[in-house]
Amino acid sequence: MKKRGLAAAFLLAVSFAGISQSEETSTLSDTSRVVAIGGSITEIIYALGAQDRLVARDSTSVYPEAAFKLPDVGYMRQLSPEGVLSVNPSGIIALQTSGPKEAVDVLKKASVPYVEVPETFDHKGIIDKIEIVGAALGEKEKADTLAKQVDSELNAAEAITRNVTERKRVLFVLSLQGGKILAAGSDTAADGMIHLAGAENAMQGLSGYKQMTDEAVVSAKPDAILVMDRAGQSISDDQVLQHPAIATTPAGEAKKIVRMDGSYLLGFGPRTASAVRELATALYGETVGN
């Protein structure tokens, strides 16, 4: 991922002369050749049955498997305008967190209509994304139906931990490079998922992904460690449990590690209700909600 990011950053040096000015829009007049940037955007388009409009996707769009047949325009946070525009799109639908800013600014000024989709890591944010993507594609009726279905599923998933009296404290570990724990604070997808599953983020008072000192990890007293499964980049259980700070926490002593597929856990799309159920069950046991 680091090499891909460096390559994309290098391509940003390419000059885009002669690009005409256009306004950011909420609907696409031509939906015949759409580029989706953001895994949840791609998932929503497939869930709406509009995948025939897609001509490319970003590298975070790994579900459904059929999406891999589409050209990959790069990592959503290290986009190259040249790469995105090379597939001759009639429109671009992208998460607001796409970047870098210079690349997104170029794409917004291109002659290709650009729909920016806000992302908040909560129940409402998922529903809003579905409605916005549906409107952009001219599929409001299908989007309304999907939004109602997902809303119902999310309500049911959140309800299973409603009566939990002692909330589990969860530490999401993104990486352990150099023995330093990079953990998720507030304003992150991991934090949003932890709360949807009826638990508490053990990393309090910090925003975004931050490196934690060993003392901070011990003080956080997590009951469980949450990690992502990523092809070729997963943190092993041994790496987690042998970390000296984690080993002394309730999670380390109980060897409580929960691992889930990254796009499934943090996607905040149509599959999120299922991921919430899975995480809640992993944290609280099969009897949760009964």
* Predicted confidence (pLDDT) at residue 152 exceeds the cutoff of 80: yes
Q: Would you state the pLDDT for residue 151?
A: 98
Check whether 22 has a pLDDT greater than 70. Answer: no
Number of neighbouring beta carbons within 10 Å of residue 124: 10
**pLDDT score of 79:** 98
Q: Can you tell me the distance from the alpha carbon of 15 to that of 13, in angstroms, rounded to the nearest whole number?
A: 6
pLDDT in tens, 47-65: 999 999 999 999 999 999 9
When the candidates are 3.30.479.10, 3.10.105.10, 3.40.50.1980, 3.90.1710.10, the CATH number that belongs to 23-157 is 3.40.50.1980
Domains 23-157 and 169-284 alike in fold: yes
Hey, is 238 helix, strand or coil? helix
pLDDT at position 177: 86
Residues 96-100 have a mean pLDDT of 97
Token pair listed for 132: 């916005």
How confident is residue 18, by pLDDT bands cut at 50, 70 and 90?
Answer: very low
Q: What is the pLDDT of residue 229?
A: 87
> What percent of the chain has a predicted confidence (pLDDT) above 90?
85
Q: What is the DSSP letter of 264?
A: H
Residue whose structure tokens are 């070729």: 232
169-284 is classed in which CATH architecture?
3-Layer(aba) Sandwich (3.40)
Which comes out higher in pLDDT, residue 25 or 164?
Answer: 164
Contact 172, 227 (CB under 8 A): yes
pTM: 0.88
Distance CA 266, CA 196 (A): 12
Cα separation values, 74 from 42, 83, 85, 153, Å: 14, 8, 12, 32
- Where do the domains of the chain lie? 23-157, 169-284
Count the neighbouring beta carbons within 10 Å of the beta carbon of residue 282: 20
CA angle 100, 272, 58 (to 5 degrees): 30
